[in-house]
Amino acid sequence: MPFTAVTPATNDTPLNIKETRCHAQKLSIGQAAAKMIQDGETIILDSGSTTVEIARQIRQMKFESLTVITNALTIALKLSSLPQIRVMMLGGLLRQTSYSLVGPDAEQALAKLSADRLFVGVDGLDPEVGVTIPDPLEAALNALMIRVSRQTIAVLDASKLGRRSLSVITPVQNLHMVITDSSAAAASVDALRTAGVQVVLV
């Protein structure tokens, strides 16, 4: 079995750089994800460049009411001016690379909540290892987000498929859906579908 190097924890790219990468794909993924959201739902948007794109799409949609739980300062700011959207911000330790809040305080706040859907951005998705990101504290919070949500949807451009990062959030079997772009390798898509995950290509 070939050896695959694990991306080191220091490879935690700042959010403003991530947002410039694969932007057209992230736009399409964000549009597809936002269309799934129903009026009156409670959703969770974790931190990340693709989930920021979902927030941008929500701004352009006409919801009568929507509750958004997030640990991302960027997402909270994007949605804060919309009176029909209730934003619940999780407190905690600020991660400067991602403008996200993590740690025990964030987990305690989240543990008292429940959501209809979670949209989670990832740094790597390997069918054998699972869903991964560089930061252990963020991974622990993301794992709790999955537990309090009825549906978990991973949103990622195809460059993340087959990649591994330091901290495992969850096995792929705990995902209900993956939304990615149409350049995704057929083998990766087949492996996810074999694991029971619905894959949407945009």
Residue 115 lies in a domain: yes
Provide the CATH number for the domain around residue 90.
3.40.50.1360
Alpha-carbon gap, residue 101 to 129, rounded angstroms? 25
Residue 5 lies in a domain: no
Q: What is the mean pLDDT of the chain?
A: 92
Task: Note the helical H segments in the chain.
Answer: 15-18, 23-34, 49-59, 73-79, 104-111, 136-147, 186-194
pLDDT tens-digit readout, 74-131? 999 999 999 999 999 999 999 988 899 999 999 999 999 999 999 999 999 999 999 9
CA angle 149, 182, 58 (to 5 degrees): 45
R_g over Cα of the chain: 16
Residue 61 lies in a domain: yes
* pLDDT at residue 16 in the model: 54
Residue 1 lies in a domain: no
Residue 166 lies in a domain: yes
Alpha-carbon gap, residue 88 to 42, rounded angstroms? 10
Per the structure, the count of domains in the chain is 1
Residue 3 lies in a domain: no
Share of the chain above pLDDT 70, in %: 90
Residue 88 lies in a domain: yes
Q: Half-sphere exposure of residue 163, counting CA atoms within 13 Å on the CB side?
A: 18
* pLDDT at residue 97 in the model: 86
* pLDDT at residue 11 in the model: 60
Alpha-carbon gap, residue 99 to 105, rounded angstroms? 16
Please determine, for residue 4, whether its predicted confidence score (pLDDT) is greater than 50.
no
Alpha-carbon gap, residue 186 to 182, rounded angstroms? 10
Higher pLDDT, 31 or 13: 31
Average pLDDT over residues 153-178: 97
Range of the domain at 128: 15-201
What pTM value is reported for the model? 0.90
Please determine, for residue 14, whether its predicted confidence score (pLDDT) is greater than 60.
no
pLDDT tens-digit readout, 47-83? 999 999 999 999 999 999 999 999 999 999 999 999 9
Residue 9 lies in a domain: no
b/e 43-70 (16+ beta carbons within 10 angstroms → b): bbbbbbbbbbbbbbbbeeeeeeebbbbb
Contact between residue 164 and residue 130 where contact means Cβ atoms under 8 Å apart: no
* pLDDT at residue 7 in the model: 39
Sequential DSSP letters for 93-137:
EEETTTTEEESHHHHHHHHT--EEEEEEE-SEEETTTEEEES-HH
The encoded tokens of residue 167 equal 């901290």
Please determine, for residue 186, whether its predicted confidence score (pLDDT) is greater than 60.
yes
* pLDDT at residue 200 in the model: 98
Please determine, for residue 12, whether its predicted confidence score (pLDDT) is greater than 90.
no
